[in-house]
Structure 1
Amino acid sequence: MKIRIVAGGPDHLIPELKSFGTSSEDLWVGVDRGTFIILEKGIKPDYAFGDFDSVSAAEKEIILKSDIALNQYQSEKDQTDMELALQWAMDQKPEEILLFGATGGRLDHEMMNIQLLYRTITSNAEVKIIDIKNEISLKLPGTYTIEREDHYTYISFLAFQGEVNGITLNGFKYPLEKASLMMGSSLCISNELVNKSGTYSFDSGIILMVKSHD
């Protein structure tokens, strides 16, 4: 099972959702105004979470008439709508969770959405934040193979917390061998694959990997 969660980020930063799968095994989840965005894209959401304070009266009426399993909350609460939706999604134990509409709006929400990836780091699901220009994911120590994709020109690695030790990059324009990457360092920003595939590995720490294009 794969779960796609759509929040209410700026519409122009949300990619064509139908290209990310509409099979019967996929679940689509709206977060507040993201529910209306899914409907606008011609997809029927299975579930929705939020206080729905970011939709107009007309948009909310459309949502309420769309036979969606709604989880409505009060505006004043201790968790964001995205956190509640992501926690529910993880409880379903899917193989993949993709988050859309999570970037480009209010900076506090964007930063929190990226930090929410930490909540998923030990799950078996592959979790990514995707917008029109970027794909963001967290990685634990290990060795990974990465394929070159026409859609993404650059690959960046950032220390998510503290220090990443032993980072090695092979098949990249700027290779590394057992380097250290500190939080706040731009050492691994805007790298590129020079072959069809490459590998990256590190011994300790957590890496925030960002694939992006201009």
Structure 2
Amino acid sequence: MGNGLTEADQAGATREAGGTGATGESGDSVESRVALVLAAGDYYGESIAVPDGAMVIAADGGYDHARAAGIRVDYAVGDFDSIVGSVPEGEATLRLPPQKDDPDLFSALKLGWNRGARTFHIHGALGGRIDHTMSAIRLVGLIASRGGIGFLYGDGTVVTAVADGALSFAAHETNPQSMVSVFALGGDAHGVTETGLRYELSDANLDALSVLGLSNEFRSGAPASIAVRHGVLAVTFPRLAPLPTVRHDHGFSGDLGALDTQVSRFLHHGQ
């Protein structure tokens, strides 16, 4: 099985990064590629929008969803234990061992990052197995901590994350109970400010186990902002709301790590 991968795909490239539509502390726009990532989970009958010019990456059984939707896939990656149809052949397919440390979604994100993506639209990673959902939310937090942005779509909801910066939502008309929730992710979040929502915060601290940010609401016709001075926030909002733009308060370095192509060294071989 070919892989069509470069040395950068294998090792990962450390660089400063910002998502499409992101701005650094200088206010200059940071241009980057956009990736559409299709995972193997539940799609809830929702449509899949392919952003203009996006690279499309299927993670394992996500290839089945791409095939069903008639979406051309640029890269397919995984151990392909959840695919129903035939495994795609060719140089754009990377087949991984099932006993690896990274889930297939993480491998797809690493592949996209190493090929220049900093904005990720991810379908099929919410719902179904709760452990996979928890893992996916942590992964968008990791993307945020490196200066990118990821959007998880599922069941009428979007989940994203922001680190040391702000998400800005354009004013829009809302439905009743157009819920927005905010949680610290991966540690405490300091200097959290929320404006344009029904309940507002100003320079608050959210500890890693706080649920204070649950069940807020957009205000109809009002722009909204969710900002954090230091830390990572996970943010959930309705899919019908406009996607936010992200502002970063400083530059970021680092990547998502090297692709995990080997059998895990932690694997215990029982008798």
Normalization by structure 2: what TM-score?
0.68
Matched with 1:162 is 187
CA distance in 2, matches of 1:114, 1:187: 18
User: 1:122: Cα distance to partner?
Assistant: 4.0
CA distance in 2, matches of 1:144, 1:200: 5
The verdict on how the C-alpha distance between 1:184 and 1:47 changes in structure 2, with shifts beyond 3 A counting, is same
User: 1:71: Cα distance to partner?
Assistant: 0.7
Task: Tell me if 1:54 matches 2:79.
Answer: no
Residue 133 (structure 1) aligned to one of 153, 156, 179: 156
User: 1:180: Cα distance to partner?
Assistant: 2.1
Matched with 2:59 is 31
Matched with 1:183 is 208
Query: Which residues of structure 1 form unaligned runs of 5+?
Result: none
CA distance in 1, matches of 2:43, 2:166: 36
- Identity over the aligned pairs, expressed in percent? 23
Which segment is superposed worse, 34-43 or 75-84? Answer: 75-84
The verdict on how the C-alpha distance between 1:102 and 1:68 changes in structure 2, with shifts beyond 3 A counting, is farther
Matched with 2:35 is 3
Q: Following superposition of structure 1 onto structure 2, how do residues 1-214 of structure 1 map, counting pairs within 5 Å?
A: 1-12=33-44, 15-17=46-48, 19-21=49-51, 23=52, 25-56=53-84, 59-60=85-86, 63-64=87-88, 69-148=92-171, 153-194=178-219, 195-212=221-238
Superposition CA RMSD, Å: 2.4
Q: Runs (4+) of structure 1 moved beyond 6 Å? A: none
Query: Structure 1, residues 94-147: CA drift from partner, whole Å, max 9, x if none?
Result: 242111111112222221121122332244433221223221111112344222
CA distance in 2, matches of 1:49, 1:26: 17
Q: Is the 8 A contact 2:149 2:161 kept in 1?
A: no
The verdict on how the C-alpha distance between 1:93 and 1:204 changes in structure 2, with shifts beyond 3 A counting, is same
Query: Which residues of structure 2 form unaligned runs of 5+?
Result: 1-32, 241-271
User: For 2:189, what is the secondary structure of its paired residue?
Assistant: strand
The verdict on how the C-alpha distance between 1:201 and 1:53 changes in structure 2, with shifts beyond 3 A counting, is closer
Query: Structure 1, residues 173-213: CA drift from partner, whole Å, max 9, x if none?
Result: 11122222222222111211224312232322211111137
Answer 1 or 2: higher relative contact order, Cα 8 Å, separation at least 6. 2
Q: Is the 8 A contact 1:83 1:116 kept in 2?
A: yes
The verdict on how the C-alpha distance between 1:40 and 1:183 changes in structure 2, with shifts beyond 3 A counting, is same
Which segment is superposed worse, 130-139 or 82-91? Answer: 130-139
User: For 1:138, what is the secondary structure of its paired residue?
Assistant: strand
User: For 1:128, what is the secondary structure of its paired residue?
Assistant: strand
User: 1:159: Cα distance to partner?
Assistant: 0.8
Normalization by structure 1: what TM-score?
0.84
Q: Is the 8 A contact 2:153 2:239 kept in 1?
A: no
User: For 1:88, what is the secondary structure of its paired residue?
Assistant: helix
CA distance in 2, matches of 1:83, 1:212: 24
Query: Structure 1, residues 61-120: CA drift from partner, whole Å, max 9, x if none?
Result: xx437x672111222222211111111111111242111111112222221121122332
* Partner amino acid, structure 2, of 1:69: A
